[in-house]
Amino acid sequence: MKLGMRTVALAGVLAVVAAGALVASATATAAAAPAATFVKVSDWGSGWEGRYTITNGGSSTLNSWQVEFDLPAGTSVGSYWNALMDRDGQRYRFTNQHWNGTIAPGSSVTFGFLGAGPGSPSGCQLDGQPCEPTAPPTTSPPPPPPTTAPPGSTPVAANGQLRVCGEQLCNENGKPIQLRGMSTHGLQWYANCATSASLDVLAQQWGADVLRISMYIQEGGYETDPRGFTDLVHDYIEMATARGLYAIVDWHMLTPGDPNDNLSRAQTFFAEIADRHRDKVNVLYEIANEPNGVNWSAVKSYADQVIPVIRERDPESVVLVGTPDWSSLGVSGSGGGVDAITANPVSASNLMYVFHFYAASHGDLYYNTLAAAADRIPIFVTEFGTQQYTGDGPNDFTMSQRYLDLMASKKISWVNWNYSDDFRSGAVFTTGTCASGDFGGTGPLKPAGSWIRDRMRTADDF
């Protein structure tokens, strides 16, 4: 009798073990399957920014993907990026772009979109299977509250479509305004510094008005992967839009210094950017970062061929044109200065000219040039630093403050270089910040970062 009971008990144990093994096997299988997870990056009540991350947990490479889901009545998708979209009623389908369809085992890709209305996706499927394979329930902390401000309180909501009136940048009501913000570093190097988390900090904690999206052409940039870098710029425009920031699309040509060397690339790039974002009011086009080694006539010739490409698709947005000798209005060389520009201006409306300076290198001559030029032509300072022209070395906060006071008095908009954790003193974050993902407060800031943050937090009188 006891032997029989031992046999029965042993059989029961084996059954439990076997059942446990089946559950473990099923769980492992579920965990190993490709999955698509959704998060609302930010939510402002009437709308939100959503992001799907597709992770290949299997052992075989995915060569394409499709995510589909339902949205409730009254909720819809507006802008989207890093995917192609179609819909059937309230059923939305997103498929890969040609450049992000392949996902190796253990790797992931993301795509995002802006939702209008209060609802969230449901009934999600990845390649015809549930987006998140069944797994044992786990307890996880609730998601943090959204940090993006409601659109009604943003710079774009306050100012709308910008235009140039006389020598100044004006909002949709014709009021002269000053935008202040930050430039990314080169996207090929520091894209991990301009993320949803860091841009929330820039918009909310720093009080920025504008993000300059710095896309290098050479130096491992656009020319190495035109499709990928164009899509990356699309992505950053949408991220800025979701936070109510203006977005400067910076065609960051530097070497070679003649912008005409990249003319056909620029026309192709700006045609697509302007075509996709023509209905937005927050996009500005900086068509030549720092022309050098050429005179004003060469820069004007380039502008005369690029601006019509933009205007055909987006007739109202502000265009920013670089000036000779590294956008110094000719001070750093023999570009002819403001006189050359006024004698032969670019024939376009809503146009501003670009000036760059680095306070520790560029003293009274640059300062006086900017002061005089602002009374003659529309100026936008799309790049400046508190240190030397290399973006490194000691900070000269005294000279920097002189420049800021001048620009405030004349309503000259400015963008600081740069929003990254580069080792140089001009990068606002300490090295390693971007990898950690902790951008908030003043703890991760270098001296230049703390200084510029303090001066950005008091908004202009919009």
- 217 within 8 A of 224, measured Cβ to Cβ: no
Q: In what order do the strands lie in the sheet with 47-55?
A: 35-43, 47-55, 108-116, 76-81
Contacts of 364 (CB under 8 A, 6+ apart): none
Cα–Cα distance measured from residue 459 to residue 310, given in angstroms and rounded to the nearest whole number:
30
Q: Which helix (H) or strand (E) holds 170?
A: strand 168-170
Catalytic residue among 49, 238, 286, 383: 383
- Helix, strand counts (H, E) of the chain: 13, 19
In angstroms, rounded to a whole number, what is the distance separating the alpha carbons of residues 56 and 106? 5
Pair 360, 394: CB distance under 8 Å: yes
**CA-to-CA dists, residue 311 to 168, 274, 303, angstroms:** 20, 8, 12
**Cα 306 from Cα 295, distance rounded (Å):** 17
Q: Which of 49, 68, 286, 290 is catalytic?
A: 290
The neighbouring-strand residues paired with 80 are 113
How many Cβ atoms from other residues are within 10 Å of residue 145's Cβ? 7
Measure the CA–CA gap between 358 and 388, rounded to whole angstroms.
5
Report yes or no: 357 and 323 within 8 Å, Cβ to Cβ.
no
Contacting residues for 205 by C-beta, under 8 A, at least 6 apart: 440, 441, 453, 457
Is position 286 annotated as part of the catalytic site? no
1 Cα distance to chain centroid: 76
Catalytic residue at 290?
A: yes
Cβ atoms of 148 and 114 within 8 Å: the answer is no
Catalytic positions, written as ranges: 290, 383
